[in-house]
Structure 1
């Protein structure tokens, strides 16, 4: 009997009284087993963890037969290493085969110019002055789409995203360029989405509807006070009310609106007030509106080139979301259920497994930019990640005045996954992080090698999952207690689960 190499044990701190003390280890935490190949996740007792560790060491003597059967059924142990490897390979290979039929996103950047001056913008100086896509360039970008899909061996449906800078600028040029892109997409049967700051969204709604735009994404940074302290026009004037109006006009006209709420150490405590505002607006339950959160982050890695000295490369890549922000975010959520209802945060991608009984889904690729995203910029260049646009060292070709594809740069990135990065192959939490972290950061830190790893340390991957589990598990246990309906003397589901010493999230 062998422990599956994909079995992970997480140690989770829960509020006192959440579980029977029999589940607590010496540190007062509970252990959660998870296996993203079998899809299982279970709360286990210290005795069960000890038995699993004996099996891991090759000692099956004294392990209870009923427990062994349960571990085998849940996929935490196996009888044949080759068969387990086959199950793993079928998931990994099947995923990347599916990508070849998945939708492919093509982002059009009419110009880099933006009318806002957000201090954390990753495009920075690019937004003050920019060339423009003319009619010939826009047509050349459309012509490049089937060639790029052929190079990616992708047969999925293309879709177009308006991107910037700010794509929906209220200027004559921008309106003409956007309409040409929309019309070209409509004529070719390509769905369209838009990512916009939202300040002129209301004026674009008729045009977006005319050409069948599917959805728009806008950003708000919390309450008007927080938002208007940073997402402002270049002259310092506020934007919250304009964006609020744009959201309302778009949603009421029938467009789907995604509201991205950026959270950082300055805004996290204002989220409860913003949730109350969103609820009063009717946004939280609006059928056309969905709110989700992101974290502001450092983007110095975008300026790295492979010829920088190694220490400089690593220093510029190091750091992303500020330490402690995620913990502060979840602490705020615990005290404010309305914020959770508004955002439904899921940084470790386990929410559905914990709260809805879904299987644990393997995270085989941390970002779709490598395989199914391309951006066309107003310089005629092609980029594989929207955060890298405008940085020539990250260009993977040109679409104008001629089509060129930098296969030497793009192909290792496109084929990168949990098995191509040597450090990831032997890591049993790789299916919870996507394998190797951000490819661009890995490329930048290593001096130009995509098949290297630049991810948070394994300990911080564990911490990410454990932090989310410590937040979600009490919610799940409360839900299950509330749902237990039984006649007098009948043992309920919760009692059955805890009595057998496991928590079967999967049916």
Structure 2
């Protein structure tokens, strides 16, 4: 019998208590200082066997027979694969890489310009491909860019046609947009089954306008607010995303208050997310302003203590902590957190196929074409499809693997040159914050 390799055991931030979490057996407990000390000594063979403690740990799956744990792991993994094979697929479609914004942190700004432009023929080819390739699978389309909702007559015609084809295929559509021309598109969007509109707002007016401005200059805040209001009025779900770094994190309390006062947070058609500004394909000009994953959530933890109203606008996940607090149970083990080539694919108007939004538009990341002819790079696709914690060597003996899932394949590939490598998430540190926030 051993202390389970899947136990995550650590001290809760700003508390004398500790926690133990095991996603394989689905158990989590807060542990008193005395019991934490007993467990630590038991793990390190510093004390004689305590039958009472062992019985308690065994009942929760924290103290296990190694062979039995391996069997359970295999069973849970097969369940995960079966479930993933039935998951809904998100199909990103990039209508263009051009944009009317000159954001200070754009990761597409160094992409080589792509020739050609979107046509109805390319849209038709896209729908023929996804209907054949993903026949029988639940799926929906997310329209991406660049900026897909540029306010030109031609772009409006193309978006209207794409929605018309999605309706014919009985597919929901989502949009990722900067929101500047959103109000002008509402009548077109209402013609489709729009699942949500993701819009980025980086703070209140002065802060946002200093980061997300028009090409040639000019603020964008007021037009975006107009678009958000128009969506909510039209009962179209807004997923508001704030991209944060050290320059604007301090404005979060003010933005949260703005959204609350607007009545957005009380609407069934409004939700939020926090996005971390980070280096993806090329170095940022000011990397010193970037947060690591841990430092971002440490900052959020402190801000929320000072400004509790933030949680009405945004409630941090802190890994699995939020899920546990809201559901009373742990999520199923996460054997793979990278959806690329499994439950996510990306396509662009040049006719190329990619693994995900982090690789779309990079010529050397193309996995094939859907237009003008269909082609697939089977070896590259297979590498993405086979990536999970069972194939990443760094994950083998990591107690965090079933909460981390191996991280992002694209970031891992940028770091090591191999898709099948890890992008480690600071699960233990996030749980330390999460238990302090939601259970202490």
**TM-score, structure 2 length as denominator?**
0.92
Map 1:140-159; keep pairs closer than 5 Å. Answer: 140-149=125-134, 155-159=136-140
1:444 matched to which residue of 2? 414
Q: 2:153 aligned with 1:168, yes or no?
A: no
1:71 matched to which residue of 2? 57
The residue matched to 1:218 in structure 2 has which SS? strand
Closer/same/farther in 2, CA of residues 331 and 373 from structure 1, 3 Å limit: same
Map 1:9-408; keep pairs closer than 5 Å. Answer: 9-14=9-14, 24=16, 30-57=17-44, 61-65=48-52, 67-78=53-64, 80-126=65-111, 131-149=116-134, 155-300=136-281, 321=292, 324-408=295-379
Q: Is contact 1:113-1:126 (8 Å) kept?
A: no
Q: Is contact 1:299-1:320 (8 Å) kept?
A: no
Moved over 6 A (4+): none
Q: Give the CA RMSD over aligned residues.
A: 2.4
The residue matched to 1:298 in structure 2 has which SS? coil
The residue matched to 2:265 in structure 1 has which SS? coil
Q: Is contact 2:94-2:349 (8 Å) kept?
A: yes
Q: Is contact 2:321-2:438 (8 Å) kept?
A: no
Q: CA deviation at 1:48?
A: 2.4
The residue matched to 2:215 in structure 1 has which SS? coil
Distance 1:128 1:402 in 2: 22
2:400 matched to which residue of 1? 429
Q: CA deviation at 1:462?
A: 2.4
Deviations 1:395-425 (A, max 9, x none): 1111111111111111111121111111211
Q: Which stretch has the larger CA shift, 329-338 or 41-50?
A: 41-50
Distance 2:431 2:293 in 1: 17
Q: Is contact 1:104-1:157 (8 Å) kept?
A: yes
Distance 1:172 1:331 in 2: 47
Q: Is contact 1:263-1:295 (8 Å) kept?
A: yes
Q: CA deviation at 1:322?
A: 7.5
Q: Is contact 1:297-1:322 (8 Å) kept?
A: no
Q: Is contact 1:442-1:452 (8 Å) kept?
A: yes
Q: CA deviation at 1:234?
A: 0.3
1:492 matched to which residue of 2? none
Deviations 1:255-274 (A, max 9, x none): 11111112211111111111
Q: CA deviation at 1:433?
A: 1.2
- Given candidates 447, 453, 460, the residue that maps to 2:422 is 453
Deviations 1:62-86 (A, max 9, x none): 4142x333222222112x3222222
Distance 2:110 2:282 in 1: 15
1:3 matched to which residue of 2? 3
Task: Provide the aligned length of Structure 1 versus Structure 2.
Answer: 436
Q: Choose 1 or 2 for highest CA Rg.
A: 1
